[in-house]
Chains A and B, each alone.
Chain A
Amino acid sequence: AQTVTQSQPEMSVQEAETVTLSCTYDTSESDYYLFWYKQPPSRQMILVIRQEAYKQQNATENRFSVNFQKAAKSFSLKISDSQLGDAAMYFCAYRSSNTGNQFYFGTGTSLTVIP
């Protein structure tokens, strides 16, 4: 089984500032997908951003961007101009492109946004 590690159980950021959430993973595969999901207090899981391992360019979605370091097996999420609505649990996830039905999730980072 793949291992996804989020070493920051909790993070906080001032409104309008930038925060980076860390994620590392363990795999012997070369082709895979990585994801960041957001879970607000409503419990609904929402896809924030995804990255294909074969792409060198880091993915960006509006205020959300990733720093994908394939050799280091690192996949961090940067949130710019943080907003109160960004407060949530954030989960990093991995999916193999070969045995692609299983997703592996990290333990999550709880993000607090301070007004």
Chain B
Amino acid sequence: NAGVTQTPKFQVLKTGQSMTLQCAQDMNHNSMYWYRQDPGMGLRLIYYSASEGTTDKGEVPNGYNVSRLNKREFSLRLESAAPSQTSVYFCASRAPSSYEQYFGPGTRLTVT
């Protein structure tokens, strides 16, 4: 089991460029999440997906879109990157009726 995987691990973008962060889990979990982590801010939820085909906004969804491609994969897209989106992005998943979220290793994104 690989758990939760994220690609890429690091990325540098110029302002206005677009990119998609990929996340996949092999634990057959229904729920998947995207967070961003900024210094002094903890983790903030961007979007989540309770099941295949559904997505919902979290605390900080502006500037992002998501796709729950299938049960395994949940991608996060930045259509026009801004310096304020410089952050570390974490994907997580959770099984039904489970307490625990399992996190991926994170993607460090820098927007210049």
> Which residues of A pack against B, CB within 8 Å?
1, 4, 6, 9, 33, 35, 42-45, 47, 50, 52, 91, 93, 95, 101-108
Considering residues A6, A43, A44, which has the most beta carbons from chain B within 10 angstroms of its beta carbon? Answer: A43
| CB–CB A101/B48 < 8 A | yes
Which B residues touch A105, using CB under 8 A?
Answer: 35, 42-44
* B-side interface mostly: strand
Nearest CB on A from B95, distance (A): 12
Distance, CA A23 to CA B90, complexed state (A): 22
Which A residues touch B41, using CB under 8 A?
Answer: 107
Which one, B19-27, B65-73, B77-85, B100-108, is touching chain A?
B100-108
Is B31 in contact with chain A by the CB < 8 A criterion?
yes
Which A residues touch B88, using CB under 8 A?
Answer: 43
